[in-house]
Amino acid sequence: MENAIELAGLRKVYRGQGGGDDKIALEGLDLSIPAGSIFGLLGPNGAGKSTTINIMAGLVNKTAGNVRIWGFDQDENPRMSRASIGVVPQELNVDPFFTPRAALEVQAGLYGVPRSERRTDQILEKVGLLDKAEAYARTLSGGMRRRLLVAKALVHAPQVLVLDEPTAGVDIELRLMLWDYVRELNEAGTTIILTTHYLEEAEAMCDRIGIISAGKLVECDETSNLLKRLDAKSLVVTTEGQGVPALPEGVNGTRREDGALVLSYRKSAHSAMDLLDHLRNQGVVIQDMATEEPHLEDVFREITKAA
Ligand SMILES: Nc1ncnc2c1ncn2[C@@H]1O[C@H](COP(=O)(O)OP(=O)(O)OP(=O)(O)O)[C@@H](O)[C@H]1O
């Protein structure tokens, strides 16, 4: 299998209710996600990320286009296409009266997993919920509910696991645990797709990134390539005294919260050495300095601004 997911000309129009306007959420989206990757689907609010995920999961009907999950066309082979994907939704909607063990058993039943093939307790242990197996879901904390949703998405052992904003409002410990587990699943062969608003997280986790803006794919590349392509760089200097000195054209200077002077510049136009000379010529006394490479956040800002 080369691509775990292939979307071609995907279009979604939400019909206006009661005479309201139609809303075009996706406008001919083409996207391929290689098998075995950890893929980050990013984009500003309302770009169409959840719509894309929900269409892949079979939760929202597409208006037009083609969807292949693990090689199975969603229209021609809906059963296999659905069996190949598991989705961890954004909302923490768990049935309050089910225990985690019961919730997984029900889910396994829905997916037609034979009893002999169920791995309920193994999955509960993996997500750290085995000791809560018989607790009512309404007594679980937010973090535990999140883990239960991950567990539910895994009962049918899907080749593709989609996580929609899995760490929104999650504490740092759980976030790290979740990412360890996601990496483990990926190493065992599961293709991972995730959306997140934490760009640092996407940069650290994802080997490939796709950026959606206004219902279209505006960028898709290996994370390292996206970062390399950016011409931006920063020079961080600790100085005696405060204020921002006069700077060469095209160089932007700000003081960070810790007082350090941050100069943002284009690698193609300036070098750190030139800028240091410039500061010295301005009479600035430099105590320390470091350069910083661009982050995904800079790439994201640049791309969505242009789009
Ligand atoms: N059920 C719906 N009915 C009508 N419009 C909808 C519906 N669901 C989403 N939309 C609209 O479609 C567009 C795309 O929404 P979507 O939720 O896919 O974006 P998103 O990228 O996931 O956003 P966010 O980052 O805020 O979760 C938005 O303009 C949204 O208002």
Q: Are residues 94 and 130 in the same domain?
A: yes
pLDDT tens digits, residue range 251-275?
A: 999 999 999 999 999 888 999 999 9
State residue 288's pLDDT score. Answer: 94
Index of the ligand 1 atom closest to the CA of residue 24:
12
16 lines ligand 1 (CB under 6 A): no
Q: Are residues 85 and 7 in the same domain?
A: yes
The Å distance, Cα 197 to ligand 1 centre, comes to 15
pLDDT tens digits, residue range 32-79?
A: 999 999 999 999 889 999 999 999 999 899 999 999 999 999 999 999
Q: Are residues 219 and 252 in the same domain?
A: no
CATH number at residue 297: 3.30.70
Percent of the chain with pLDDT over 90: 67
The Å distance, Cα 49 to ligand 1 centre, comes to 8
Query: In whole numbers, what is the pLDDT of the chain averaged over residues?
Result: 91
158 lines ligand 1 (CB under 6 A): no
Q: Are residues 85 and 128 in the same domain?
A: yes
Give the closest residue (by CA) to ligand 1 atom 7: 14
The Å distance, Cα 205 to ligand 1 centre, comes to 25
pLDDT tens digits, residue range 74-128?
A: 999 999 999 999 999 888 788 888 999 999 999 999 999 999 999 999 999 988 8
Q: Are residues 256 and 176 in the same domain?
A: no
122, 164 Cβ separation under 8 angstroms: no
23 lines ligand 1 (CB under 6 A): yes
State residue 190's pLDDT score. Answer: 96
Q: Are residues 55 and 36 in the same domain?
A: yes
Q: Which amino acid is at 274?
A: D
Is the pLDDT at 294 greater than 80? The verdict is no
Is the pLDDT at 210 greater than 80? The verdict is yes
Q: Are residues 74 and 155 in the same domain?
A: yes
| C-alpha to C-alpha distance for 3 and 173, rounded to whole angstroms | 33
Is the pLDDT at 168 greater than 80? The verdict is no
Index of the ligand 1 atom closest to the CA of residue 48:
18
The Å distance, Cα 77 to ligand 1 centre, comes to 27
The Å distance, Cα 52 to ligand 1 centre, comes to 10
Give the closest residue (by CA) to ligand 1 atom 5: 14
Closest to 157 in 3D by CA, of 206, 205, 207, 122? 122
Closest to 303 in 3D by CA, of 196, 239, 219? 219
- Number of domains composing the chain: 2
Final residue in a domain of this structure, among 171, 206, 227: 227
Q: Are residues 213 and 198 in the same domain?
A: yes
State residue 307's pLDDT score. Answer: 66
Q: Are residues 45 and 154 in the same domain?
A: yes
pLDDT tens digits, residue range 5-38?
A: 999 999 999 998 887 889 999 999 999 999 999 9
Final residue in a domain of this structure, among 172, 206, 227: 227
CATH number at residue 19: 3.40.50.300
State residue 127's pLDDT score. Answer: 87
Q: State the residue range of the domain holding 147.
A: 3-227
Is the pLDDT at 304 greater than 80? The verdict is no
Q: Are residues 118 and 223 in the same domain?
A: yes
Q: Are residues 7 and 141 in the same domain?
A: yes
| C-alpha to C-alpha distance for 161 and 36, rounded to whole angstroms | 11
